[in-house]
Amino acid sequence: MAERSLEGLIDALRRLPGVGQKSAQRMAYHLLQHDRDGAQRLAQALQTATLAVQHCQRCHTFTEEALCATCSDAQRDARQLLVVESPADQAAVERSGSYRGLYFVLMGRLSPLDGIGLADIGVHPLLERAADGVVQEVILATGFSAEGEATAHVLAQALRSLPGPGGAPLTVTRLARGVPVGSELEYVDLSTLAHALSDRR
Amino acid sequence: MAERSLEGLIDALRRLPGVGQKSAQRMAYHLLQHDRDGAQRLAQALQTATLAVQHCQRCHTFTEEALCATCSDAQRDARQLLVVESPADQAAVERSGSYRGLYFVLMGRLSPLDGIGLADIGVHPLLERAADGVVQEVILATGFSAEGEATAHVLAQALRSLPGPGGAPLTVTRLARGVPVGSELEYVDLSTLAHALSDRR
Ligand SMILES: [Zn+2]
Ligand SMILES: [Zn+2]
């Protein structure tokens, strides 16, 4: 099969995470055979999203505005800052209904093997954000995988050296170990997550 | 998270076969966070392919021309016509190196439960193609799954009623059962495939 645009589509689909040659082929055949409308919509959605979606200036999550809806919400308690790895983890905490503070989204976690270091997960913007004079407590809610734990450990060390409001030290806490070890936050059931939040240490 | 263009991208990715909500979310985050260039390329590849890729007028496989490269190849033996479910299956037969005839690609198989009937797999174009007065033998190489076998059975019945060159009946054969039952053709190793081809009955 020497069809250049078909090969190009398969190659482009292979760049998606978790998609190998066989899946990319199946996706390309499916779109061309059964869902050209879906292919057009996906092309359009990719272009719209890459143009419109940026990072929130305060919490780094994805947003179409300078500030995301959560950071713009005056009802949230600005004295608490909860640090998560991803927007999916943030959404999981929101669904638990037991947190009313603000967030900082790392958009990753430390992973020396993949070359992901402190700069890549925005540790400097986090330290700047946490030292705004309003934040009293930083809750570390990275995952309980080995990499998530290492990230929490490194961030805790950096954050504990910061002054909080009025010069008192920042309180740095970690979600309680109600979260099953080795699992990703976004897959945890809501009551476990609520429990882990109230038992934070 | 109420970001419309991000939600739109996740929805569009969910239309890909085998992609659920979690995978679509992971793909969208990955593209926006780490591979905006890949997102642009995928958008471009989708548009190019949906515009350029059509079906070969003779064998129905994907091609950018009226006739695909195989159908245009005067070196191929036009007396043999091998019927496969998909371009991936056709590519597998080609890789076995033991077939020099032409192809007909069904782009599917009978699947009454999914509402895929005879018309959807192009049985009329196949009958027309097989009755061109040159084809002497039709080799049914649909998969050895239940649906592939049913497809072969129905096609064999229809094809056996057709006249071949000079009014003699068409020879209709089936790949030998060297192919493990229940498996898809494209995953079969090359020597098994070559064996099944030479032992066709
Ligand atoms: Zn924000
Ligand atoms: Zn062709």
User: pLDDT digit string (tens) for B157-168?
Assistant: 999 888 878 878
User: pLDDT digit string (tens) for A15-65?
Assistant: 999 999 999 999 999 999 889 999 999 999 999 999 999 999 999 999 999
**pLDDT value, residue A1:** 47
Average per-residue pLDDT for chain B:
88
Could B35 and A15 be called an inter-chain contact, meaning their C-beta atoms sit closer than 8 Å? Answer: yes
pLDDT of B178 > 70? The answer is: no
Q: How, if at all, do strands A62-63 and B54-55 pair?
A: unpaired
Contact B17, A30 (CB under 8 A): yes
User: pLDDT digit string (tens) for A67-83?
Assistant: 999 999 999 999 999 99
Interface test with B, best of A46, A50, A90 (most B CBs within 10 A): A46
User: pLDDT digit string (tens) for A97-115?
Assistant: 889 999 999 988 888 787 8
- At A178, give phi and psi (nearest 5°): -70, -25
User: pLDDT digit string (tens) for B49-77?
Assistant: 999 999 999 999 999 999 999 999 999 99
Contact B24, A46 (CB under 8 A): no
Report angle CA A150, A96, B34 to the nearest 5 degrees.
50
Tokens of B14: 């969910």
Could A29 and B91 be called an inter-chain contact, meaning their C-beta atoms sit closer than 8 Å? Answer: no
As a three-state string, the secondary structure of chain B is CCCHHHHHHHHHHHCCCCCCHHHHHHHHHHHHHHCHHHHHHHHHHHHHHHHHCEECCCCCCEECCCCCCCCCCCCCEEEEEEEECCHHHHHHHHHHCCCCEEEEECCCCCEHHHCECCHHHCHHHHHHHHCCCCCCEEEECCCCCHHHHHHHHHHHHHHHCCECHHHCECEEEECCCCCCCCCCHHHCCHHHHHHHHHCCC
Q: Which fold has domain A78-174?
A: Dna Topoisomerase Vi A Subunit; Chain: A, domain 2 (3.40.1360)
- Partners of A53 on chain B (C-beta within 8 Å) are 3, 5-6, 32
Tokens of B30: 């990955």
Report how far residue A154's alpha carbon sits from residue A196's, in angstroms, rounded to the nearest whole number: 21
Report how far residue B12's alpha carbon sits from residue A53's, in angstroms, rounded to the nearest whole number: 16
Report how far residue B110's alpha carbon sits from residue B122's, in angstroms, rounded to the nearest whole number: 10
Residues facing A84 on adjacent strands: A105
User: pLDDT digit string (tens) for B116-129?
Assistant: 887 777 788 999 99
Q: Residue ranges of the domains in chain A? A: 2-51, 78-174
Within chain A, strands assigned E span 54-55, 62-63, 77-84, 101-105, 137-140, 171-174
What is the ipTM for the molecules in this complex? Answer: 0.78
Ligand 1 ion: nearby residues, β-carbon < 5 Å: A 56, 58-59, 68, 71
B79 shares contact with chain A (CB less than 8 Å): no
**pLDDT value, residue B144:** 80
Q: Which ligand is nearest to the CA of B104?
A: 2
Mean pLDDT, to the nearest integer, of A169-182? 78
Report how far residue B70's alpha carbon sits from residue A2's, in angstroms, rounded to the nearest whole number: 10
Q: What is the CATH number of domain B2-51?
A: 1.10.8.420
**pLDDT value, residue A6:** 93
Q: Which ligand is nearest to the CA of B78?
A: 2
Name residues 171-190 of chain A within 8 A of B (Cβ): 186
User: pLDDT digit string (tens) for A143-152?
Assistant: 888 888 899 9
